[in-house]
Amino acid sequence: MSITLEEEIFGLAVNPFTKSPEMVRRYTLKNSKGMTVSVIQLGAIIQSVCLPDAYKKVEDVCLGFDDIASYLANKGAYIGGTLGRVANRVANGEYTFNDTKILVTKNIQDKFQLHGGFVGFDSVIWEVVQKSPEGVIFRHVSPHGHEGYPGKLTCLITYQLDNENRLWVRYEATTDRSTMVNLSSHAYFNLAGHGSGAKGLAEHTVEIASDHIVDTDELQIPTGKLIDVKDTVFDLRLPVLMRDRLMQFENRQIKGYDNCFVVNGGRVQKSVAKVAKIVHPPSCRVLEVWTDQPGMQFYTANNLTSIVGKNCTKYDRHGSFCVETEKFPDAMNHPEFPSISLEPNEKYRHEVLYWFKVEESWKCCCNNDPKASS
């Protein structure tokens, strides 16, 4: 059986540019293994990822909402959203390029920009340029000067699902004048099920192929230094249990992971490589993250508090995780970081593969399940 595509109306949203209401559609890709992925035009958001576990029990492992109003009401959590033009932080909402100071908007406490500003790519309604079993392609043209960024930026995002339970996400962008681009996805996952909360996340093991993290100050703005993870809570080069690790953050200012891990040797690769593996042993579900990017922000939902998500489920702190592949935060202000500048004759490319698996070898850890021995 090949991949199928279903299209339906998800709701109405006001276009932030035209101020007119527009219909937002949802597209659901389904494969032969019973896995489905739903994406919506608002923010090119990943709204749902459903897949069976080792015992054929299907769960939605991606946090999200059932309606547009909830996405708008909880905009500050960026749940499932596309981050752009520039994901993560821009110090003081400014940068200098070719001796010209560029001022961008400061949407956090009037101190810095986060995830593209007041109307980031998570808040716009993306046009659909392709919808087929081969994938869904969204397009957005960000006007010159939007949120302070120069250049008309034309972006494409392709979502593709295959029969190996691989969700491919490909970002492309071109500009008509020098600008900055660093796109990412703020999908929140919990392999025990989107509503399993902190108890479910605590059961996960996490492994990230990273020797260094990007050092940041108290506002989480990069200092320009990289920190060796050896002998720190950030050493995830071997699988660690989230329950044990998150307890070690209790006396820290930031209560959990919210760090850019340097992956792929801190360089953009020609093709995707595996940078992280997250496992939920009780269900045997696994998520591998493969990317060509030099960084991955690992975030354990430290700031989520009592949000009501799909099926009236409560989303709380430490009840999910994000694996945001990207170039480093505030890279435009750190020439030593991989560059996020884009010129008119260039094309920005960014590929990430979320590979969902069921690893039967974990069944030895699941003997408390009455079905495990059958």
Q: Which two tokens stand for residue 87?
A: 């994901």
Task: Say how far apart CA 177 and CA 4 lie, in whole Å.
Answer: 39
Find the Cα–Cα–Cα–Cα dihedral 91, 302, 319, 33, rounded to 10°: 10
Find the Cα–Cα–Cα–Cα dihedral 128, 78, 88, 250, rounded to 10°: -150
- pLDDT value for 373: 39
**Per-residue pLDDT for 244 more than 90?**
yes
**Per-residue pLDDT for 365 more than 80?**
no
Q: Which two tokens stand for residue 150?
A: 């120069």
What 3 state SS string does the chain have?
Answer: CCCEEEEEEEEEEECCCCCCEEEEEEEEEECCCCCEEEEECECCEEEEEEEECCCCCEEECECCCCCHHHHHHCHHHCCCCEECCECCEEECCEEEECCEEEECCCCECCCEEECCCCCCCCCCECEEEEEECCEEEEEEEECCCHHHCCCCEEEEEEEEECCCCEEEEEEEEEECCCEECECEECCEECCCCCCCHHHHHHCCEEEECCCEEEEECCCCCEEEEEEECCCCCCCCCCCEEHHHHHHCCCCCCCCCCEEEEECHHHCCCCCCEEEEEEEECCCCEEEEEEECCCEEEEECCCCCCCEECHHHCEECCCCCEEEEEECCCCHHHCCCCCCCEECCCCCEEEEEEEEEEECHHHHHHCCCCCCCCC
Query: Which residue among 59, 203, 324, 326 is the active-site one?
Result: 324
How far out from the chain centre does Cα 220 lie? 18
Q: 């989480």: which residue's tokens?
A: 220
- pLDDT value for 250: 82
What's the burial of 94, exposed, middle or buried (CB within 10 Å: 0-12/13-18/19+)?
middle
User: Does 212 participate in catalysis according to the annotation?
Assistant: no
- pLDDT value for 306: 87
- pLDDT value for 361: 64
Task: Say how far apart CA 50 and CA 44 lie, in whole Å.
Answer: 18
**Per-residue pLDDT for 167 more than 90?**
yes
Q: Is the peptide bond before 267 cis (omega within 30 degrees of 0)?
A: no
Average pLDDT, the chain: 94
Residues whose CB falls within 8 Å of the CB of residue 219, separated by 6 or more in sequence, listed in order: 89, 111, 112
Residue 88 annotated as binding site: yes
pLDDT digits (tens, 9 = 90+) for 168-225: 999 999 999 999 999 999 999 999 999 999 999 999 999 999 999 999 998 899 999 9
Q: Which two tokens stand for residue 264?
A: 């792929």
Residues whose CB falls within 8 Å of the CB of residue 364, separated by 6 or more in sequence, listed in order: none
Q: What is the mean pLDDT of residues 71-88?
A: 96
Residue 89 annotated as binding site: yes
Residue 55 annotated as binding site: no
Task: Say how far apart CA 117 and CA 100 lie, in whole Å.
Answer: 20
Q: 């109003």: which residue's tokens?
A: 69
Domains in the chain (CATH in brackets) are: 4-358 (2.70.98.10)
Q: Which residues of 174-209 are buried (b: 16+ CB within 10 A; e: fewer)?
A: bbeebbbbbbbbbbbbbbbbbbbbbebbbbbbbbbb
Residues of the chain above pLDDT 90, percent: 93
Residue 171 annotated as binding site: no
Query: Using 50, 70 and 90 to split pLDDT, how confident is the model at 374?
Result: very low
- pLDDT value for 253: 77
**Per-residue pLDDT for 27 more than 50?**
yes
Q: Length of the chain in residues, anyone?
A: 374
Query: Which residue among 186, 280, 318, 334 is the active-site one?
Result: 186
Query: Using 50, 70 and 90 to split pLDDT, how confident is the model at 254?
Result: confident
Residue 186 annotated as binding site: yes
User: Does 144 participate in catalysis according to the annotation?
Assistant: no
**Per-residue pLDDT for 372 more than 80?**
no
The sign one gets for the Cα dihedral 75, 78, 82, 83 is: positive
Residues whose CB falls within 8 Å of the CB of residue 268, separated by 6 or more in sequence, listed in order: 292, 293, 294, 327, 338
Residue 187 annotated as binding site: yes
pLDDT digits (tens, 9 = 90+) for 101-153: 999 999 999 999 999 999 999 999 999 999 999 999 999 999 999 999 999 99
